[in-house]
Amino acid sequence: MKKTYLASLLILAVASGAAQADRLDDIKKAGVLRVAAFDSNPPFGFVDAKTKRIVGLDVDYAQELAKKLNVKLELVPTNPANRIPLLTANKVDVVLANFTITEERAKQVNFSIPYFASGQQFLAKKGTLSSPDQLGKLRIGVDKGTTNEIVLREKYPSATLVAYDDTPFAFTALRNGNVQAITQDGPKLVGLLANVPDKEKYEIPPFSISDDLIGAGIPKGEARLTAFVSETLVELEANGRAQQIYDAWFGPNSKTPLKRIFRIGDGKK
């Protein structure tokens, strides 16, 4: 499985970059905006039990984009590892799936300006983990194809890493004692823990080992579409909609209250 992914990604990376017609025009002509979103990561993207549709913070942003373009929104479920292939294979127009902006990824896809910020944190059974110094000695569950995996390997090479398809799988491994901790972006872990019935047994130790900015992924070279997404994000912050979206999922009355530390347009770099 892993080899399949790696081999395929390699070929995708080599084969990508072919010139295409302007995607923004294509979207308007088709009347459909195809967005890849997580289907298993509350509150960013998950299947709502009642409506059976994918909902979440990322999906709200996708809806705003479709609304502004005046087109229909089509959501494509994705896991972390499929995000870049979906873009390079022209299966989606935009990826809104807690996608950390990195230089390495920017070689294969375009990124909008960031709309969310987080740091890489850990989730463990209470009393297992209190300081980053312990990480080197632990078995840690990571999600395949995430920056978390790469950062952890670089900073703590002596840690034993076990890669899973998605965060809930990693959490199941943690529950069953296959790993001693799992790592992901802090807000994603908070969102995960909120849905665990026996959450008092677990904790997210208050340290992080990276600062990540989250942006929308767009096919490489689509400058107009990238500019459109970035402009829309700035507008959403200016008219207060971005704050509304944040509050709906992370506000004081939500399941996962979390102080908003980042506003769209902050710390341009």
Partner 1 sequence: MDFTVVADNFGYFMLGAWPAGPLGGAALTLLLSLASALASGALGLVLGVGLSMLDGAPRRALFLFLAFFRAVPVIMLIFWTYFLLPILFGVGVPGVATVVVALSLIGGAYLAHSVHAGILSLPAGQWQAGMALGMGRWQVMRLVVLPQALPVMVPSFINQWVALVKDTSLAYVIGVGELSFVATQVSNREMVYPTEIFLFVAFVYYLLCVALERAAFAVGRRYAAPAR
Q: Give the shortest CB-77-to-partner 1 separation in angstroms.
A: 5
Is 42 a binder of partner 1 (CB under 8 A)? yes
Residues 46-65 that bind partner 1 (CB under 8 A): 46-47, 49, 51-53
Pair of tokens at residue 228: 């459109």
115/164 with CB nearer partner 1: 164
Should residue 145 be labelled a site residue for partner 1 when binding is judged by CB under 8 A? no
Query: Closest distance between partner 1 and the C-beta of residue 40, in Å?
Result: 4
> Distance between CA 45 and CA 126 in Å, rounded?
27
Which span (39-47, 136-144, 224-232, 250-258) binds partner 1, by CB under 8 A? 39-47
**Shortest distance in whole angstroms from residue 208 CB to partner 1:** 23
Taking the complex as a whole, the smallest distance from the CB of residue 196 to partner 1 amounts, in Å, to 5
Report yes or no: 258 and 227 within 8 Å, Cβ to Cβ: no
For the bound state, the minimum distance from the C-beta of residue 46 to partner 1, rounded and expressed in Å, comes to: 5
- Return the C-alpha torsion angle 14, 97, 180, 261, nearest 10: 120
Under the binding rule (CB under 8 A), the answer on residue 1 touching partner 1 is yes
DSSP codes, 144-205: TTSHHHHHHHHH-TTSEEEEESSHHHHHHHHHTTS-SEEEEEHHHHHHHHHT-TTGGGEE--
What angle, rounded to 10 degrees, do the helices at 167-175 and 186-194 form? 60
**Which parts of 162-191 interact with partner 1 (CB under 8 A)?**
166-169, 171-172, 175
Cβ proximity to partner 1: between 82 and 232 the closer is 82
What residues make contact with partner 1 under the rule CB under 8 A? 1, 4-5, 8, 11-12, 15-16, 18, 39-42, 46-47, 49, 51-53, 76-79, 82, 85-86, 88-91, 166-169, 171-172, 175, 192, 195-198
